[in-house]
A and B are shown apart, each in its own frame.
Chain A
Amino acid sequence: GQQLNQSPQSMFIQEGEDVSMNCTSSSIFNTWLWYKQDPGEGPVLLIALYKAGELTSNGRLTAQFGITRKDSFLNISASIPSDVGIYFCAGVNAGNNRKLIWGLGTSLAVNP
Chain B
Amino acid sequence: ETGVTQSPTHLIKTRGQQVTLRCSSQSGHNTVSWYQQALGQGPQFIFQYYREEENGRGNFPPRFSGLQFPNYSSELNVNALELDDSALYLCASSHAKGPNTEAFFGQGTRLTVV
Q: Which residues of chain A have a CB within 8 Å of any CB of chain B?
A: 1, 3, 30-31, 33, 35, 40-45, 48, 50, 88, 92, 94, 96-105
Contact = CB atoms under 8 A, between A and B. Distances in A.
Given A40-B88, A40-B108, A97-B56, A102 B102 contact: no
B42 A102 contact: yes
Contacts of A100: 33, 35, 43, 45, 92, 103
Contact of B59 (A1, A33, A104, A105): A1
23 contacts: A1-B45, A1-B58, A40-B88, A40-B108, A41-B107, A42-B4, A42-B105, A42-B106, A42-B107, A43-B43, A45-B2, A45-B102, A45-B104, A48-B102, A92-B101, A94-B101, A98-B101, A99-B33, A99-B45, A99-B48, A101-B45, A102-B43, A103-B42
Given A41-B107, A42-B6, A42-B106, 15 more contacts: A1-B45, A1-B59, A3-B42, A33-B103, A40-B88, A42-B2, A45-B2, A45-B102, A48-B100, A48-B101, A50-B100, A97-B56, A102-B43, A102-B44, A103-B42
